[in-house]
């Protein structure tokens, strides 16, 4: 009883540093009412947990948060559905001795495997599948988090993605990161794909803001080099109302500067879903950025499947997938493809809405991922899930269920070499589609309503058109409903 209650509290701390005090208090009250002789001991433990929670809350106020949901869904471009916050404790260590046991418990729990890692050599194709894991508490923790879900590749934020300044990479974090890499046998140069800050817009034309963006970007590249990471994924940015050509040129020029200031890291541009002034939803825009980059060996592309689909690149059938990849090859060049973000889409084809769905449950469907998993040229690339893992917990609060990623990794691996024209595949496909049916219907309705509204607007006078254009131009953050 005692152990169970204590365990519950530490698990709560593990899963979410922003766990409300009310939950801790409830646990303490439960202990008080249900046990007798052991009350004081149990309460003591709870108090320690409470202190820790309070400390976390204090830190949270002082430092701009790392948004765990954002870590999961890559959703600067994603819509404003996920706004819960967590914190970045990049360089922080437990201050008090009494917290050490808690930290040890946290570590033990984080490394409790939810799935064993698949030996890539046992797969018919060398597909390295993982997820965007948390690096809260130090970048070294991303490795433990990746191991826990059986990931063979992973993404992570190297610092808070929502604030302009962060403490430098702690020497201890770096040392541990390298030790963990060795211990768990990850190739940092190949299968780790950090994600850049959502604040950074390399297309920024204002000199002061452009410098701020560049400094943040460069700082991340330097962290990559300190950690032995070779691929760095970022969102290209926003035109800010300027022409797309000018924006692409500015991004290229910032990349050139960043390449000169570093030695080896490859800057990997993520394709976007395309709305407002966002750069990078068309393959042509990726091409135009790359064409301005002097050292072509230092630039690449990461295809986010949800973004591509929402931008109007189909991947669902083998033919559509082949056509999209042929277009990518002819416009951008397959040699620039360095990574994947594997996400299904809650929004329909070409809707320009960025809503990540769990694999097989969205409008892309399982077949799209079967196409990807069986495409020879995609071997050895990091393939990172940014699918939602938040579930409603006991108090109606959102709780992360990392088992979802562990299962999705295994699901994707199971598609390698699988015949998609079998009852086994069709059963799984139908099962997952059924799971996402209501969510798809909901978003479809929104998209239809918006289209109807837009077509009505389109038939009205030019004055309204100008007003709408103005609104779009101020929308720096891709699409928000």
Q: Is 195 a catalytic residue?
A: yes
User: CA 336 to CA 61: how far, in whole Å?
Assistant: 41
Annotate 419-441 with DSSP letters as a single string: -SSSHHHHHHHHHHHHHHHHHHH
Would you state the structure tokens that stand for residue 235, as one six-digit string?
């969102």
354 catalytic? Reply is yes
Q: Cβ 116 to Zn ion, closest distance in Å? A: 26
Q: How far apart are CA 87 and CA 65, in angstroms?
A: 4
341 in catalytic set: yes
Residue closer to Zn ion, measured from CB, 147 or 339: 339
CB of residue 344 vs Zn ion: minimum separation in angstroms? 12
Catalytic residue among 67, 71, 86, 354: 354
DSSP letter (8 states) at residue 334: G
Q: Select which of 8, 59, 125, 162 is catalytic.
A: 162
Catalytic-labelled residue, pool 28, 352, 353, 356: 356
What's the min distance (Å) between Cβ of 113 and Zn ion?
Answer: 26
Q: Is 278 left (phi over 0), alpha (psi -120 to 50) or beta?
A: beta
Residue 154 or 180: the one with the smaller Cβ distance to Zn ion is: 154
In sequence order, the 6+-apart residues with CB closer than 8 A to the CB of 406 are 114, 115, 148, 149, 150
DSSP string of 198-260?
A: SS--TT--SHHHHHHHHHHHHHHHHHHHHHT--EEEE---B-TTS-HHHHHHHHHHHHHHHHH
Q: Backbone phi, then psi, for 458, in 5-degree steps?
A: -60, -30
Residue 327: φ, ψ to 5°: -65, -40
Q: Bridge-partner residues for 262, per DSSP?
A: none
Q: Is 45 or 73 the residue whose CB approaches Zn ion more closely? A: 73
Distance CA 75, CA 56 (A): 24
339 or 373, CB closer to Zn ion? Answer: 339
Residue among 68, 87, 270, 288 flagged as catalytic:
270
Q: Judge whether 304 counts as a catalytic residue.
A: yes
Q: Single out the catalytic residue among 195, 259, 298, 352.
A: 195
Reply yes or no on whether 162 is catalytic.
Answer: yes
Q: C-beta of 264: minimal distance to Zn ion in Å?
A: 22
CB nearer to Zn ion: pick between 78 and 90:
78
Distance of closest approach, residue 200 Cβ to Zn ion, in angstroms: 12
Q: Is 250 a catalytic residue?
A: no
Residues in contact with Zn ion by CB under 5 A are: 74, 270, 304, 341
What amino acid positions are annotated as catalytic residues? 162, 195, 198, 235, 270, 304, 307, 341, 354, 356, 386
């Amino acid at each position: 009883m005692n152990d169970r209650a204590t365990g519950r509290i530490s698990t709560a701390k593990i899963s979410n540093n922003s766990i409300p005090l009310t939950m801790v208090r409830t646990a303490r009250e439960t202990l008080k009412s249900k046990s007798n002789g052991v009350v004081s001991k149990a309460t003591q433990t709870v108090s320690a947990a409470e202190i820790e929670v309070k400390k976390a809350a204090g830190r949270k106020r002082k430092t701009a948060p790392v948004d765990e949901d954002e870590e999961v869904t890559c959703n600067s471009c994603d819509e404003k559905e996920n706004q819960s916050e967590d914190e970045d404790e990049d360089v922080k260590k437990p201050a008090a001795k009494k917290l050490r046991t808690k930290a040890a418990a946290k570590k033990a729990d984080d490394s409790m495997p939810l799935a064993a890692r698949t030996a890539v050599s046992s797969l018919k194709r060398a597909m390295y599948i993982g997820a965007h894991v948390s690096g809260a508490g130090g970048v070294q923790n991303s490795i433990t988090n990746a191991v826990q879900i059986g990931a063979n590749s992973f993404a992570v934020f190297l610092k808070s993605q929502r604030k302009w300044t962060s403490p430098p990479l702690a020497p201890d974090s770096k040392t541990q990161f390298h030790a963990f890499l060795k211990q768990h046998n990850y190739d940092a140069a190949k299968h780790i794909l950090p994600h850049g800050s959502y604040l950074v817009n390399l297309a920024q034309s204002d000199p002061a803001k452009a410098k701020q963006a560049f400094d943040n970007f460069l700082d991340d590249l330097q962290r990559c080099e300190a950690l032995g990471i070779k691929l760095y994924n970022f969102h290209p940015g926003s035109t800010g109302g300027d022409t797309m050509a000018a924006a692409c040129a500015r991004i290229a020029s910032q990349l050139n500067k960043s390449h000169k200031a570093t030695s080896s890291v490859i800057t990997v541009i993520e394709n976007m879903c395309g709305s407002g002034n966002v750069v990078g939803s068309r393959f042509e825009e990726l091409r135009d950025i790359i064409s301005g980059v002097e050292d072509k060996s230092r630039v690449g592309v990461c295809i986010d499947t949800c973004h591509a689909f929402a931008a109007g690149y189909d991947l669902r059938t083998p033919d559509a997938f082949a056509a999209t990849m042929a277009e990518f090859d002819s416009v951008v060049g397959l040699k620039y493809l360095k990574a994947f973000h594997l996400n299904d889409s809650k929004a329909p084809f070409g809707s320009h809405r960025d809503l990540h769905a769990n694999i097989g449950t969205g409008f892309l469907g399982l077949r799209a991922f079967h196409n990807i998993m069986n495409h020879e040229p995609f071997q050895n690339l990091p393939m990172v899930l940014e699918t939602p893992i938040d579930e409603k917990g006991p108090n109606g609060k959102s709780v992360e269920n990392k088992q979802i990623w562990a299962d999705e990794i295994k699901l994707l691996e199971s598609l390698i070499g699988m015949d998609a024209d079998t009852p086994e595949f069709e059963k799984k496909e139908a099962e997952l589609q059924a799971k996402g049916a209501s969510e798809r219907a909901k978003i479809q309705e929104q998209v239809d309503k918006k289209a109807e509204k837009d077509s009505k607007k389109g038939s009205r006078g030019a004055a309204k058109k100008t007003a709408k254009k103005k609104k779009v131009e101020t929308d720096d953050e891709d699409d928000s409903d």
